[in-house]
Amino acid sequence: MAKCFALMGWSLPVIESMQKLNKPYVVVSFPDFEEYAKENDIPFVSYQFDEWSDTSNSLDLYEKLKPFNADVAVPLFEETVEWAGALNSIYRGDPRVLNRAFLFRNKAMMKRKALIGGLRVGLFEEVFNKDGVKSFMKRLNQANLQIEGEQDSWVHIKPFASAGTVGHRLLKSMQDIEDKCQESDFPCLAESHLPGTEFSCEAFIHGGKIRFLNITEYVKLGYSNFIPEGHHLNAKRDKIMKEMQKLVDLFGIEYGMIHPEWFLTENDELSFGEVACRIPGGHILELTGKAYDFDALAAFVLCHDPNLSEEELKEILPPLDARPKNFYGNVMIYPHKNVINKLEIPDELKEESYFLDHNLIPPYTNQKINSREGFGNHFGTVNFKGDDPDRMKELLLHYENVDFYH
């Protein structure tokens, strides 16, 4: 067992999981959290992750963590992935651990590695300005044998290293490029649109092997999902498992958890979207823990420990072939108006047998809603539980469009 886990980033649910298990840990996060940590006896190292200087690097952080006997670093958020990779390179005496971390932080590098390894990916390219995006769309139109007058091929642009949908733009025409792209978007990755059913996987890995695999079915990216997957994706589970292990082998992942996104086409072909190695958004691990009845956050942390035994793995993870009887899903709620005054929960929701609970926040009078970046600032979630995935999907689709704020 690890002497001490260095939790890279602030997450109260993760801290609570470590306390329940009575596992040694230290939190490494911004100075803003230091006072709270002291008041609540939380082991803490104050660090500015977003600044690089002579006194801000992994060797300096390694020295600061020595008094805690830290020997395993765990990235909780996107911005701490390379920091954890650097520390684990030192702890394991393996410089390639840091190189693998860079794969997760640079989407262009990630796509090239996937392509070299034989995964099915779309066309992609680094672009540096609007003209670069236009040239990419033109080449994509040519590759798709478009003729004059037909709709342009869709292009997605996204930052190289941001999490989730932050900075992500869908461009459906040359005019979209002109209207939607801003100078601050560049440089970035441009990629072709991938058709099919989008879903994610949460693979808990130890010793280079997948020890537990969850499949999260996306109803609408950034809004709703449920766990485990519905009947159609479940029928493809063996195929998905093989592609997942191929990804693990290709990226050389030995410990931790990965969260890749895939697209399943009508022809049963799997296309690789992208992959992360930190806690996923959309409350996915929370739903996974409820559906499979285990502490998914604790398992996420502990799987980073190379010294974890087979017995300990069996204690913290569900069986690889587990299939829950109930499905857990949620829909993230965003106000539909620019100014809101009150929260209204519809009677139909209260009477719905699948309705579990919600954590929606009542607004203050005449609260203005800021334009959102990605899908990061929803007002809360509405949670559901039931035994029919088709009914679950139907409910999530419905409540995406219900206006809870007036």
pLDDT at 168: 77
Question: How much is the pLDDT for 374?
Answer: 40
pLDDT of 12 reads 97
**Pick from 47, 79, 78: nearest CA to 63:** 47
State whether residue 75 is helix, strand or coil. strand
Long-range CB contact pairs, 272-277, < 8 A, 24+: 272/114, 272/119, 272/120, 272/121, 272/243, 272/247, 273/194, 273/198, 274/107, 274/110, 274/111, 275/104, 275/110, 275/247, 275/251, 276/78, 276/81, 276/104, 276/163, 277/75, 277/81, 277/101, 277/104, 277/253
In the prediction, which pLDDT does 41 show? Answer: 97
Per-residue pLDDT of the chain (406 residues; tens, 9 = 90+): 899 999 999 999 999 999 999 999 999 999 999 999 999 999 999 998 776 555 568 888 999 999 999 999 999 999 899 999 999 999 999 999 999 999 998 889 999 999 999 999 999 999 999 999 999 999 999 998 888 878 899 998 888 777 666 677 888 999 999 988 988 888 988 999 888 999 999 999 999 999 999 999 999 887 899 999 999 999 999 999 999 999 999 999 999 999 999 999 989 999 999 999 999 988 999 999 999 999 999 999 999 999 999 999 999 999 999 999 999 999 999 888 778 888 999 999 999 999 999 999 888 877 877 654 444 457 889 999 999 999 999 999 999 999 998 8
pTM given for the model: 0.91
Helix/strand number for the chain, H first, E second: 15, 18
Give me the DSSP letters along 80-119: GHHHHHHHHHHHHT-THHHHHHHHHH-HHHHHHHHHHTT-
| CB contact set of 356 (below 8 Å; sequence gap of 6+) | 328, 383, 384, 385
- Both tokens assigned to 109: 């590098």
- Angle (CA) 84 89 93, round 5°: 150
Distance in angstroms between the alpha carbons of the first and the last residue of the chain: 52
pLDDT at site 336: 80
pLDDT of residue 373: 46
**Structure letter (DSSP) for residue 325:** S
pLDDT for 293 equals: 98
Distance of CA 108 to the CA centre of its chain: 17
